[in-house]
Amino acid sequence: MIKTSVKADDVLKHKTDCLVLFNPEKNPAGLLKQIDGLLNGALTAAFKAKRFEGKLNQTFEQSVRGLMGADSLIVVGLGKSKDITEESIRQAAGTAAKSVEKSRHKKMAFFLDGKDAGKPGKAKKSQTAHPVAGAIMEGAQLGLYHFDQYKSVDQDNPPSRIKEIILLVPGKPQVTAYQKGVDQAGKLCEAVIATRDLMHHPSNIATPAFLAKAAQSLARKYKITCKVLEKKDMQKLKMGSLLGVAQGSHEPPKFIVLEYKGGKAKDPPVVIVGNGVTFDTGGISLKPGAGMDEMKFDMSGGAVTLGTLQAAASLKLKVNVVGIVPATENMPGGSAIKPGDILTAADGQTIEVLNTDAEGRLILADALIYAQRYKPKVLIDLATLTGAVIMALGHVACAVVGTDSKLIQQLIQSGDATGERMWELPLYEEFEKAVKSDIADLKNIASKGVGAGTITGAAFLKPFTGDYPWAHLDIAGTAWTSNEKPYVPKGGSGYGVRLLIDYLKNLSS
């Protein structure tokens, strides 16, 4: 994490490499008008020439050495004043931070007094101490994320990195509120960064055992309960569906359970189940070679589950949360399951395996059955389950399917608030019938001609959720992306941690 602090200082005299100011789609006013005067109207000229119009994520950069305490100034657009939200501030802060780093500055300072930039208008009431401070820090910290663990460093030309971020406030009375917002955002960002790191490790490192050790380390640091079930434990619990997927791999499976008890002892927990396939070849139903390297991210649901438990514990949320991660590889070894095989899940339901590349739902089945022992308040699962969700929603939003409309709407609202958007898909009876097998209770892919791959994947999971309120999040399109965004890098996004924490905050409040 980059060192961050809040200071009350004169923005015109504050010493820093680069000062960042925000501006909506209107001519410079207030402080910006004053600074524009120091710059002989350079910002006004940029507006008139339409080089900078205050549109969201537009930037205007100018050297101000000798005119101000800062060496350089960046003004970043926020869009129309009426449309400013915490999400637009996050994006603008991420855009600015990347621009500052690209210019090889080491220190940067943000200033936002609310008069020039307006106030977040459309976001729902925030649970953070200071929503603007939190949004700025989230955007900057997450926008400056790098995963360099496996790169050699060029000693003569090392990569330029921001070393310090300061948030300037107009006066000392505001420092405490802003600092609380920054601190809360920092803990959340740490969890997202830990999630992204897990997703970026190659699968020869990030094995099921690696995930289990990461969970145990997390539990020690944040004083939460962790247990890891081994293969023999899964056999005792008759987790035939999970063990069926695991039997083609030399890497032993792990079943990770984390318990955070922040609520009252008798309060039922929110149970989050995350798919932990650490590498997915497709098994005997082998995937094409092109792009298979990205299948290391098939454990994204598991990584997000660990990250969410970390964030909940570090923020000391007043709610009970259980995280469950079934972890295994899906390999085409000589002992691997074959199309046509029948597996028996822990509750006795039988599954005809028609495609071994539909393995995520197989390991989730046993995990969802296990989750029911906690008598959960709600049951949420996350998985990079289907390519079909990318056809439907691209890389812009995840799909949510479930049995409880209130839960789904609460999740959608948290998605809107955090910029981690989702879209509900229907779970009609026809889709549930499409995963009924002729020779077993269920089959792991739907009948030919049904389509709706994302929904039928959820329809398969439904029989393993009991009568508990349940929502399934298919994050295949949002967990990993090839296009860099203002505060989301190429590769693993960590999508889901901020969304789930917002949901849990709302429950605890």
Catalytic residues: 287, 361
Structure tokens at 371: 């989750």
Structure tokens at 356: 């071994």
Q: 162: Cβ–Cβ under 8 A, 6 or more apart, which residues?
A: 2, 97, 100, 101, 105, 106, 107, 108, 144
Cα(48)–Cα(44) distance, integer angstroms: 6
Asked if 165 and 136 count as a contact pair (C-beta separation under 8 A), the reply is: no
Count of beta carbons in the 10 Å neighbourhood of residue 202:
11
Task: State the DSSP code for 158.
Answer: P
Structure tokens at 285: 């139903």
Cα(357)–Cα(233) distance, integer angstroms: 25
Q: Can you give 165-194 as a three-state secondary structure string?
A: EEEEECCHHHHHHHHHHHHHHHHHHHHHHH
253 closest CA partner among 267, 274, 239, 271? 239
Cα(191)–Cα(323) distance, integer angstroms: 14
CA dihedral for 94, 100, 102, 104, sign (positive or negative): negative
E-assigned strand segments in 395-464: 398-402, 422-424, 442-443
Structure tokens at 355: 């495609």
Asked if 346 and 239 count as a contact pair (C-beta separation under 8 A), the reply is: yes
303 closest CA partner among 331, 321, 283, 327? 327
* Letter string b/e over residues 420-437, b meaning 16 or more CB atoms within 10 A of that residue's CB: bbbeebebeeebbebbbb
Cα(489)–Cα(482) distance, integer angstroms: 8
Residue identified by tokens 């955070």 is 260
